[in-house]
Amino acid sequence: MFGVRSKGCYTLSQMSRLSFYNLNLQELEQALVGRGKEKFRAQQLFRWIYGQRVTDFSQMTNLSKVFQGEMAELLDLTLPEMVTERISSDGTRKYLFNMGDSQLVESVLIPSDDRLTLCLSSEVGCNMACQFCYTGKQKLKRRLTAGQIVGQFLQVSDRLPEAQRITNLVFMGMGEPLDNPEAVFRSIEIFHSTWGLNLSRKRITVSTSGIVPLIPLVTASGARLAVSLNGVNDEVRSQIMPINKKWPLEELLEACRVHCRESKDKVTLEYVLLKGVTDSIQDARDLHRIAQSVPSKVNIIPFNEHPGSGFHRPDEKAINAFHNELMRLGTHVLRRKTMGRDILAACGQLATNPDARPRPRAKTQPEATL
Ligand code: SF4
């Protein structure tokens, strides 16, 4: 169903070049100085490539012809190949990318009234094995590079109409971002730096299933923190999220408190409503108690079913009762609007395992093979 146009998009000569989108300013400066060039050229290149989105060196008019040619030999500007784009009836777009070695990941663009959010993937598959997550059924194949994370953004951004731009980034796609910290935090540096893509750090959110020792890296990066909570006690949480056996709930919450103290920010607690597992009124009360113990807001996410999940979405009555109980108690709570469900682009529904790919459904616009 998904047509992969080519098996790999990197040639041997590209592989021996430096991948531009992996580099920060200091590294590019060093690479240039090491080749006898002026340091300030790095800033010029970043301005052309990230600021102006000019990727043909011969069009960089303030660089000499000789330098243009040298840069074309030194720097590889290959982006992940966008293979397909699927558009939901609600405007959500899901993109399938080939990372150059036929490994596939998905990204999702979610429009709302005042923002355009891109949900990024950080790994091909995921080893965290959260029981309710489609990606978790696909074991980790490999971690993405920073350039491949930035590349998802650039490919989507380059295709938007002039008046539109991506306002927010969330690391909530395929993979556990803190299982790939080097690439994720390097990409965040590229996203927020003035020499890079110049996005506010406060518009970048890293969501973790709970790799507690690495939460301080989120704090240090200046990004916002979201935690996939989903269980109000260790028994339930360990059942649906194996990581809880390693870093139990109280350790996770304490790491959140430290983050909030140091960042002067709130943490988002994401809570998936699974019928008969996490959706009782008592669960809502326990969730309120947890939310009171850490500066936070709660996102409740009614489960989005996927093939073979084994869990069910609660009915609207149960979802409303849960939500109302939290509001009655005074919890800062939002019910996450489900977006892109008809194209399996909703939360927890991403997967690129060929055996687990979604079948097209009625009312979904035809998929575009790019
Ligand atoms: S919810 Fe996130 S961490 Fe858990 S399996 Fe899915 S992708 Fe991995």
**C-beta 124 within 6 A of ligand 1:** no
Strands 93-98 and 81-87, sheet pairing: antiparallel
Ligand 1 centroid, distance to 161 Cα (angstroms): 32
**C-beta 177 within 6 A of ligand 1:** no
For a ligand 1 pocket test, name from 121, 176, 306 the mutation site with the most ligand atoms within 8 angstroms of its C-beta: 176
Q: pLDDT tens for residues 208-263?
A: 999 999 999 999 999 999 999 999 999 999 999 999 999 999 999 999 999 999 99
Q: What pLDDT is recorded for position 343?
A: 66
For a ligand 1 pocket test, name from 128, 206, 347 the mutation site with the most ligand atoms within 8 angstroms of its C-beta: 128
- Distance from C-alpha of 206 to C-alpha of 179, rounded to nearest angstrom: 12
Report CA dihedral (16, 20, 25, 28) to the nearest 10 degrees: 30
Residue whose Cα lies nearest atom 5 of ligand 1: it is 136
Report CA dihedral (77, 78, 84, 87) to the nearest 10 degrees: -20
Ligand 1 centroid, distance to 192 Cα (angstroms): 25
Ligand 1 centroid, distance to 138 Cα (angstroms): 10
Q: HSE, CB side, 13 Å, CA atoms: give it for residue 185.
A: 15
Q: pLDDT tens for residues 25-80?
A: 999 999 999 999 999 999 999 999 999 999 999 999 999 999 999 999 999 999 99
Burial track 28-39 (b if 16+ CB lie within 10 A, e otherwise): bbebbeeeebee
- Distance from C-alpha of 84 to C-alpha of 96, rounded to nearest angstrom: 5
Using N-to-C axis directions, what is the helix angle for 146-158 and 181-192, rounded to 10°? Answer: 40
| Tokens linked to 211 | 């790799």
CB 281 within 8 A of CB 325: yes
> Mean of the pLDDT values across residues 197-208?
97
**C-beta 240 within 6 A of ligand 1:** no
Classify residue 366 by its DSSP letter.
P
Whether the pLDDT of residue 364 is over 90: the answer is no
**C-beta 25 within 6 A of ligand 1:** no
Q: Which of 288, 233, 292, 308 is nearest to 257 (CA)?
A: 292
Ligand 1 centroid, distance to 129 Cα (angstroms): 6
Spell out the domains of the chain, with CATH numbers in brackets: 12-76 (1.10.150.530), 81-369 (3.20.20.70)
Q: Which residue has the higher pLDDT, 90 or 41?
A: 41
Q: What pLDDT is recorded for position 353?
A: 57
What is the DSSP annotation of 76-95?
Answer: E---PEEEEEEE-TTS-EEE
Ligand 1 centroid, distance to 227 Cα (angstroms): 11
Indicate the SS3 state at residue 98.
strand
> Mean of the pLDDT values across residues 97-116?
93
Residue whose Cα lies nearest atom 3 of ligand 1: it is 176
Whether the pLDDT of residue 129 is over 90: the answer is yes
- CA separation, residue 49 to residues 23, 76, 157, 359 (Å): 12, 12, 13, 38
Q: pLDDT tens for residues 219-233?
A: 999 999 999 999 999
**C-beta 175 within 6 A of ligand 1:** yes
Burial class of 300 by CB neighbour count within 10 A (0 to 12, 13 to 18, 19+)? buried
Other CB atoms within 10 Å distance of the CB of residue 122 = 27
- Distance from C-alpha of 121 to C-alpha of 23, rounded to nearest angstrom: 19
Rg (CA), the chain: 21
Ligand 1 centroid, distance to 332 Cα (angstroms): 24
Handedness of CA 139, 143, 148, 152 (dihedral sign): positive
64 dihedral zone (left: phi>0; alpha: psi -120 to 50; beta): beta
> Mean of the pLDDT values across residues 142-171?
96
CB 267 within 8 A of CB 227: yes
Would residue 106 show up in a list of annotated catalytic residues for this protein?
A: yes
CB 251 within 8 A of CB 212: yes
For a ligand 1 pocket test, name from 131, 140, 228 the mutation site with the most ligand atoms within 8 angstroms of its C-beta: 228
- Distance from C-alpha of 361 to C-alpha of 75, rounded to nearest angstrom: 42
Q: What pLDDT is recorded for position 356?
A: 41
> Mean of the pLDDT values across residues 3-25?
64
| Tokens linked to 142 | 């490999």
pTM assigned to the model: 0.90
Output the average pLDDT for the chain. 90
The residue from 106, 176, 189, 270 that is catalytic is 106
Let me know how many helices (H) and strands (E) the chain has, helices first.
Answer: 12, 15
- Distance from C-alpha of 333 to C-alpha of 299, rounded to nearest angstrom: 6
**Strand-pair partners of 224:** 205
Residue whose Cα lies nearest atom 4 of ligand 1: it is 130
